[in-house]
Amino acid sequence: MAANGNGEVAMNGNGAAPARKPKGRLPSITTSDKHHGVCHDMSAPTVKAQTIDELHSLQKKKSAPTTPIKGFQGTFAALSEEERQKQQLQSISASLASLTRETGPKVVRGDPASKNQTSPRVHQQHVAEPTISASDSSLKFTHVLYNLSPAELYEQAIHYEKGSFITSTGALATLSGAKTGRAPRDKRVVKDDVTGEELWWGKGSPNIEMDEHTFLVNRERAVDYLNSLDKVFVNDQFLNWDPENRIKVRIVSARAYHSLFMHNMCIRPTPEELEDFGTPDFTIYNAGQFPCNRYTHYMTSSTSIDLNLARREMVILGTQYAGEMKKGLFSVMHYLMPKRQILSLHSGCNMGKDGDVALFFGLSGTGKTTLSTDPNRYLIGDDEHCWTETGVSNIEGGCYAKCIDLSREKEPDIWNAIKFGTVLENVVFEEHTREVDYADKSVTENTRASYPIEYIPNAKIPCVGPHPKNVILLACDAFGVLPPVSKLNLAQTMYHFISGYTALVAGTEEGVKEPRATFSACFGAAFIMMHPTKYAAMLAEKMQKHGATGWLVNTGWSGGSYGSGNRIKLAYTRKIIDAIHSGSLLKAEYKKTEVFGLEIPTAVEGVPSEILDPVNTWSNKLGYKDTLMKLAGLFKNNFEIFTDHKIGKGSELTGEILAAGPNF
C-alpha cells in the first residue's frame, strides 16, 4: 500500500496494496481475503448500528415492567402491561386532581427530555379531560418519573438540580435551600370534630391548629404548582416492617433529591408488591420550592407544613428540607398506630444474638444512634418503631444520621454507609477531590446522611424482633448530678419518659452560655399527636406484660457541671449498656439517691465504682446539693402541664407518676 501525490492509497491490480515492511514500532494491521482486501482491526466485533442515535439506543436494555405478572396472583395479574400501566397512571392522576377542577392532569410515564419515550396512543388510554375551568395547563402532559432507581435519580439530580454533586465515596451531595432544618412553628394540623377530641391541643402541644378550608387552599396551591411542572417524581412505598400493620404511602415531589431521600427512608416494595399497591393510605404533596401565600388564614411565614388526618394527606410549601417528609409520616404513625392499640416510639432498637431486644430513647446529643448502632448486636432501626402484640418493628427502611464531626474511628458503620445511593444534605466538600469535610459548618451544623438500612452490615432484615427486655432512657445531663445509670420502677419509667429530659451545652445553640435543661415529652414531643400520658400508659402496660426493665442512663457530665466537671467516658457508658444487655446489672446491689429517689448500682464491671454515685465525684458538696435542687425544680416546673391529665378511670396512676418525680 502506498500513497500517491494526492494522498490517496495506490492499490495493486488485484485490489490489494503491495506488501511492505512496517516502519517504526507501529503494529501491522493484517488483511483478509474474505473482506476483499480491506484492512480490519479484528480486536473487537463491529457495532450493529448505522447512526449515532441507533448506537445510543443499543446502550440501554429494555427493563422489566414495574409491575410484572407472576402467575395469576395480584390485582393486575389478569391485565396486560399496558392496562396495568394505565391503572397506575390513573391512580397518580387522581392523586394530583385539583379539587376545583375535579380531575387530575394528563399524566404519562417517563422523562420529557428523553426521545421517543411516550406515544399519543398511550396518552389517550388513561387521560380524562377536565370538565370545568380549563386552562393552558389542561393542554399539556405532566410526565411522571415513577419509583426511579437511585442511578436514575442521580442522573436527574446532577443534570437538573443545581448544587447536586457526586462525592469521592459515591454519595449524592445536595442542598436543601434556605431551610436546613425542620420548621415546627410552621407545622399545622387540621382540627375537626374528630381530631378536636383525639389529639393533644393547647399548652405544651406541638399541634398548631388550622381549618379544613385553609388546608384545601394550600393543597390547591401545591397541586397547581406540581401540575405546572414538566415532570414530577412519584414514590409508592411502605411504612412499618410488620406486614399486618403496613401503611402504603405515596410521595409526589418536584426534586430528584427528595425522591431519592424517600426511596432510602421508606420501605422499598418489590416489583411483585407494586402489582397490587392500589390506592395509597397516605399521600404527601411536596411543593417545597413554592411558598405558601402569607395572606392565607393561619399562615405566619412563607413556609407551611400541613397535615390533614381525615383526608390522609400532607402538603409542604416553602421548605425543601427533606426531613419534613420523614417526620411528617412519623406524626401520622403516632396517630394511626395507637388507634390500633399499637405503641409508636421515637427510639433506636437493637437485638442481641440471643434475641434480647433493647429500646433506646434520647434527644439529640445523648448518644442514641451511637449506642443503638452496636457492632456486636443486630440493628433493627435507629429512630422510629412500633411495639405490637407480637414484638417490635421498624417503621422505616433507612437511617437519617447526623454528619457533623463524623469520623471513621467513632462511627465506622455510619462512615462506611456513605456510599453510592446515600444522600448527603448540606455538607461541604473539597472542590477537586470531592472529599467531604464533616467538620465544616459553613452551610449548617445540621448536616445529614440518608441511606438504606441495608447499608449497615449488622442490620436485621426484615427489621422486626421479639418483645423488648430493656427500655433505656438516655439523658445528657450537663448539670452533672444524675447518676451514670439508674434502675427505674414502672412509675419512674413513665415519669422520665413523659419528661424526656436532656441538657443543651454551650455551642449547641446560639446564645447558650451555660447548661440549659430541655424537655421533650416521650423523647419526641414535636411528632406526637395525642397526649403524652397516652403513650406512657401504653408503654407501661407493655413493659409490665412482657417483663421489660426501665433504665435511666446519663451520658453527660460527672464531677461538676459543664465547664467544671468532665463528660462520662463513652467506654464507661458502653460497659454499662453491655451489663444491661447481659442481664448482669439486674443482679447488682442497689442503693437509693436523695431527691430523685433513683436506684443506683454499687458496682458495674469495667466502671470505676466512685462515679456511680455522682455526689462522690464533686469536690464541692454544697455546689452539688444546690445544682441537684435546681435540676429537680426544673423537672417539677416542666411536669406541671401534665398533672391535670388523668390516665384511665381514676387518677391513681397519675398520682403514682407524680410521686415518682423528685421529692424536696
The answer to whether 182 is a known catalytic residue is: yes
The torsion angles phi and psi of 96, rounded to 5 degrees, stand at -90, 10
The torsion angles phi and psi of 4, rounded to 5 degrees, stand at -85, -170
Q: What is the DSSP string of 246-297?
A: -EEEEEEES-HHHHHHHHHHSBPPPHHHHHT--S-SEEEEEETTS---TTST
What is the spatial distance between Cα 248 and Cα 251, in angstroms, rounded to a whole number?
A: 10
Q: Which three cell numbers stand for residue 545?
A: 406484660
Q: Which three cell numbers stand for residue 8?
A: 490517496
The answer to whether 448 is a known catalytic residue is: yes
Q: Which of 319, 369, 370, 493 is catalytic?
A: 369
3-state secondary structure of 449: strand
**What count of other Cβ atoms lies within 10 Å of the Cβ of residue 7?**
6
Any residues with CB less than 8 A from the CB of 424 and at least 6 apart, and which? 167, 171, 172, 173, 174, 403, 418, 436, 447, 448, 449
Q: Which of 228, 296, 364, 518 is catalytic?
A: 364
Q: Are 356 and 333 in contact (CB under 8 A)?
A: no
What is the spatial distance between Cα 378 and Cα 359, in angstroms, rounded to a whole number?
A: 12
Strands 378-381 and 348-351 turn out to be antiparallel
The answer to whether 587 is a known catalytic residue is: no
Q: Which of 383, 444, 447, 533 is catalytic?
A: 383
The answer to whether 211 is a known catalytic residue is: no
The answer to whether 327 is a known catalytic residue is: yes
What is the maximum alpha-carbon separation in the chain? Answer: 115
Q: Which residues pair with 475 in a beta bridge?
A: 554
The torsion angles phi and psi of 311, rounded to 5 degrees, stand at -80, -15
Q: Which of 221, 231, 385, 448 is catalytic?
A: 448
3-state secondary structure of 231: strand
Q: Which of 187, 221, 334, 346 is catalytic?
A: 346
The answer to whether 578 is a known catalytic residue is: no
Q: Are 182 and 324 in contact (CB under 8 A)?
A: yes
Q: Are 466 and 569 in contact (CB under 8 A)?
A: no
How many Cα neighbours within 13 Å face the side chain of 380? 31
Q: Which of 368, 467, 487, 496 is catalytic?
A: 368
What is the spatial distance between Cα 239 and Cα 612, in angstroms, rounded to a whole number?
A: 41
3-state secondary structure of 536: helix
What is the spatial distance between Cα 205 and Cα 190, in angstroms, rounded to a whole number?
A: 14
Phi-psi region of 415 (alpha: psi -120 to 50; beta: other; left: phi over 0): alpha
What is the spatial distance between Cα 18 and Cα 566, in angstroms, rounded to a whole number?
A: 89
Q: Which three cell numbers stand for residue 526?
A: 414535636
Q: Which of 182, 188, 263, 469 is catalytic?
A: 182
Catalytic machinery residues:
182, 327, 346, 364, 368-369, 383, 448
